[in-house]
Chains A and B, each alone.
Chain A
Amino acid sequence: MNYPVWGLPAPGLLIAAVAILHVFISHFAVGGGLFLVLAETKARRERDEALLAFVRALSRGFILLILVLGALTGVGIWFTIALVQPQATSALVTVFVWAWAIEWTLFATEIAAAMVYTYGWDRLEAKTHLRVGWVYFVSAWASLAVIAGILAFMLTSGDWVKTQGFADGFFNPTYLPMVALRTAVAVGLAGLYALFAASFLKDADLKARVARWSATRWIAPAAVLVVLSLLWYLSAAAGAGVAVAETLGAKSASPAAVLAAVFGTVSAGHPIVRGAARVAVGGAAMLVVASLALVALRARRYGRLEAGLLMALGIVSMGGSEWVREGLRKPWVIDRYMFVNGVRVPAPAGGAGPAGSAADDPFALDALARRGVLATSPWAAAPAAWRPGDPAFEGLPAGERAALEVEAGREVFRIECAVCHTERGHLGIRRLVRGKSVAVITAVLDAAAKPVTADGRPASWSDPGVRVATWLGRRMPPFAGTAAEKRALAVHLARLGGDERAGLDAPAATSGGAEAFERYCAACHGPDAPWPITDRLRGRSAAEFYEMIGRLPQVREEMPPFSGSEDERRALAQHLGGLAATTPADVTPAADRPETEEPR
């Protein structure tokens, strides 16, 4: 919102597309470098001319892939993140300019070595040629190790939020596990690349030798290392406050619980992230098994089709795992510093910086709640006549006022929500708000994200140890803006969801209980919500409901404690008791609803 918003629907998908391609190639670049030098060493030691010729041909294809697609998709990521997440890119560049600069020296060395290695087959002594190969691998791996520091920082910023020190941010809790994990993936992909390249060979003996070597010495050991380093990574992330269990819908962050949640049918967690995790784990497992089976059964005869399918499995699995990493990070783009929509947490009192610098941050949550998103962002185009609180606006006929609210709400959505949500496509907002009233949407916006301590107690966003409790694990950032902006957004969304009268009606003349239900319960238990209340009444009395409302987290652990007043609790209990009395007690949950767990 400090920067203009590019009108591309769900631009995060563009980052994902460019990044997945680049990550796939760049990991090849690292592992492939090691493969080339070790294969060349092996060929020279065993005087295996056929293998040497294969490595030579491999190196040529390698530079075409690395120098062109690898380097340019890397630049492509720079371009893309700057277009989609300029605020976060600016922060990362400012904090880590020397890390990027260091990475650049390694990148330059890597590119030069790749060329000298490929052009040097006939011009360099064998020893020098191998040395150049090692220069290539070491600089490529070191480049990975530098980028991993910045990527890991985005997930777990460590003590940086307190100190803003370079080393505190770079050597953060998930740094080493991420380097280990990415190294293991690179080694595995190198084996996969060799397996693919060997499929072009006509010499069946050589093909079988290369394929067996790739599968048994590269892919299989890498698979073991990937599993071990992944467990290390997830445990380090969970330890640093990343909502691993919540996002994946698991009871805990233990490997067994995570696997059970990913492949089980649970109602909680982020559905897309869980799907991505299935793709990542399932794809990787299939890849390893299929590679070993291919080598065991068809090492001399396999062709490009089989090898191409393995490559496709590799990129799909890699895409899934990158998606999970991004999903685990949300709602942050930079852990405990900035949300995905560019909103920052308020600076802690007495934080670093010259007087007033961070404290006056107009794009922090607290400042936006005071001044409003539309008034703060120069890129917002709110209708001039939308002036909440102004008698001229409040005195307008309901229809005109609502039309202005819809327009203002659309603008809030564009600036604050459109980085993730499209209207009808990816995370399509129409589908998510279908049939929801203004009150329900407001309740979801209120519940979207709350700052909590490690043990779940309420906290402040500027607390350095803050964690995020999100509504149903959906990993949304908190709403940023004034109450009037929240109302405008809710009216706009309710209209998108099909409520033609949203914003027109005065609050319905219903009992306080129905209002309380709309406000506190309907987001999850409304007629179109995942767990309709009519399926759960079971003939209970108002007194029973009153008692249950007092211990909601014990009824189901996903439910938050009731946050309304005593009067609202009574009214709500009466309302539910009345509903139960008029609803058959033996209602069977609809079969087409996946989430049908009953309250205990």
Chain B
Amino acid sequence: MTPGIPLADPLPLPAPVGLLWALLQLTFLLHLVAMNVVLGGSILALHWRFSRREEGAVHRASLLAFFAKALPVAIAAAVTLGVAPLLFVQVLYGRLFFTSSILMAWLWLAIVPLVILAYYGAYLLAFRDDGPGGRARGVAALVALLFATVAFLQVSNATRALRPDTFVEAHRADRRGLLLNLADPTFWPRYLHVLLGAVAVAALGAALYGVLRRAREPQLAAWAIRRGTTVFGVATAANVFVGMLFLLSQPKPTLIRLVGGDAWAMGLLALGIVLGVAAAGLALLALGAKDTVRVTWGQVGLLVATLVVMVLLRDQVRQLALRDAGFEHPAWVVAQWGPFAVFVVLLVAAVATIAWMARALARGTAGVSR
């Protein structure tokens, strides 16, 4: 085992590794969707706020107003859905994750105040939006910058956690907790991949908003679908290219396994590329399509499939890297099925309660409470 990997606790794992792994992938996928809406949405909204195009200015303003109201909710979802994968990653990979976090301690901790600041900025836009221009532009720029910085720090930690062979040397070089992992060849391609992916997801979200509003505001809907689809297509096409760069930046042993040494990893990679190309292609076709609604739903389906594949592929890259580093999960498992059952029951109850509340809110009509 690589010397920098801390030893496992002399405690049994509370569940089979497979179960913890599945929960990590599932909850991370949910967090990823919400996080992409927040990050990509903030960047896209910023672009639209600064856009001077006359065409669609009214719709742009409507969409921005909607996004300003929706952003705090999306942040709440991203934070809440981020807690669960944070928990499961600590159980399974805490030995790497804690270490990589400590190496960038101050910067890692900075994520908390940065998100708090961005969150209050989002509320400022939601409660006191004075239109697409003015002070709101400054606040929106700050919010987007803060979220992009948070993603930057996350990528630094995630890439470092895959390189336990650099832990000890990095710690000797700097114990202040100020180390970023910028020298890692995968860093910049990965960060760019994250940013473009987020913009693509948020753009498709805008198109979906158009689909859902088409009965009430057909013109706004048509504009949102067209603009959303265009941005989605361009960002996804660009991301297929950046994804290739990301792939080529992988350490050689990982790269070899991804392109032929490991059937499952290779299959996921191929599927990911095909899905990405298909999504970008469908978006370009959609610009001339008559039934934009059906095409948008088709893209949503492709996007969800792509995200699932990307989450699994991301996990494969981790497993390949860690296998080379000699990382193994402890074999000692004493499953706590009773507490797990309570968790499952409460999870179902939570989903049902949240669904009930959301439905009540969506169906509610103005003024009944007073």
Contacts and interface: CB of A to CB of B under 8 A. Distances in A.
Contacts of A3: 6, 98-99, 102
A216 interface: no
Interface stretch (B12-20, B41-49, B202-210, B246-254): B12-20
B353 to A, nearest CB: 6
Interface string B353-370: 110011011001111111
Interface residues of B, number: 79
A94 B343 contact: no
Given A72-B119, A352-B334, 15 more contacts: A76-B109, A94-B12, A102-B343, A106-B350, A109-B349, A109-B354, A123-B366, A125-B364, A132-B357, A164-B12, A344-B10, A353-B12, A360-B10, A362-B7, A378-B3
Interface string B165-178: 00110011001110
Nearest to A102: B343
Nearest to B174: A7
B369 A111 contact: no
6 contacts: A5-B175, A6-B177, A7-B176, A72-B112, A93-B87, A108-B350
Contact of A82 (B88, B101, B172): B101
Contacts of B111: 79
A116 B336 contact: no
Interface stretch (A61-69, A390-398, A459-467, A520-528): A61-69
Contact of A94 (B91, B112, B331, B350): B91
A363 B10 CA distance: 10
Contact of B91 (A80, A82, A93): A93
Interface of B: 3-4, 6-7, 9-15, 20, 23, 72-73, 76, 79-84, 86-88, 90-91, 94-95, 97-99, 101-103, 105-106, 108-109, 111-112, 115-116, 119-120, 123, 167-168, 171-172, 175-177, 331-332, 334, 336, 338-340, 342-343, 346-347, 349-350, 353-354, 357-358, 360-361, 364-370
A86 B102 contact: yes
Given A5-B175, A107-B80, A83 B102 contact: yes
B9 A91 contact: yes
Contacts of B120: 64, 68
Contacts, number: 228
B331 to A, nearest CB: 7
B87 A123 contact: no
B83 A104 contact: yes
A342 B202 CA distance: 44
B304 to A, nearest CB: 21
Nearest to A49: B370
Contacts of A375: none
B10 A357 contact: yes
A240 interface: no
- Consensus secondary structure, chain A interface: helix
Contact of B116 (A68, A78, A360): A68
B108 A79 contact: yes
A94 B14 contact: yes
Contacts of A119: 361
A167 B338 CA distance: 9
Residue from the set B90, B116, B167, B367 with the largest chain A CB neighbour count within 10 Å: B90
A105 B80 contact: no
Interface string A69-100: 10111011011101100110111011101111
B109 A164 contact: no
Given A2-B6, A97-B15, A122-B369, A105 B349 contact: yes
Contacts of A99: 339
Contact of A105 (B13, B88, B343): B343
B87 A97 contact: yes
B369 A94 contact: no
Interface in A116-155: 116, 119-126, 128-129, 132, 135, 139
Interface in A151-194: 164, 166-167
A120 B360 contact: yes
Closest 4 CB pairs of A and B: A123-B364, A98-B339, A7-B175, A86-B98
Contacts of A306: none
B357 A113 contact: yes
A71 B79 contact: yes
B364 A124 contact: yes
Given A79-B109, A79-B111, A94-B11, A71 B80 contact: yes
A8 interface: yes
> Which residue among A106, A111, A363 has the maximum number of chain B CB atoms within 10 Å of its CB?
A111
Contacts of B342: 98, 102
A4 interface: yes
Interface centre among B7, B338, B361 (most CB of A within 10 A): B361
A499 interface: no
A418 to B, nearest CB: 10
B98 to A, nearest CB: 4
A553 B260 CA distance: 75
Contacts of B10: 344, 347, 353, 357-358, 360-361
A4 to B, nearest CB: 5
Contact of A116 (B13, B168, B360): B360
A112 interface: yes
A242 B119 CA distance: 41
Contacts of A122: 364, 366-370
A24 to B, nearest CB: 15
Contact of B369 (A8, A101, A109, A125): A125
A115 interface: yes
B339 A354 contact: no
Nearest to B5: A378
Contacts of B123: 64, 68
Contacts of B343: 98, 101-102, 105
Contacts of A232: none
A105 B347 contact: yes
B14 A98 contact: yes
Contact of A121 (B73, B86, B369): B369
B20 to A, nearest CB: 8
A105 B346 contact: yes
A579 B302 CA distance: 90
A164 B12 CA distance: 9
Nearest to A88: B9
Contacts of A2: 6-7
Given A4-B99, A64-B123, A353-B332, A112 B357 contact: yes
A83 B112 CA distance: 13
B128 to A, nearest CB: 13
B168 A379 contact: yes
Contacts of A559: none
Given A98-B342, A115-B76, A135-B357, A82 B98 contact: yes
Contacts of B367: 122
Contact of B108 (A72, A83, A360): A83
A86 B106 CA distance: 15
Interface in A336-357: 344, 347, 352-354, 357
Contacts of B368: 122-126
A90 B90 contact: yes
Contacts of A6: 102, 105, 175, 177
Contacts of A64: 120, 123
Contact of B336 (A4, A76, A107, A166): A166
Nearest to B170: A4
Nearest to B15: A97
A464 to B, nearest CB: 16
Interface in A1-28: 2-8
B369 A120 contact: yes
Interface in A26-55: 52
Contacts of A68: 116, 119-120, 123
Nearest to A91: B9
A83 B109 contact: yes
A4 B103 contact: yes
B330 to A, nearest CB: 8
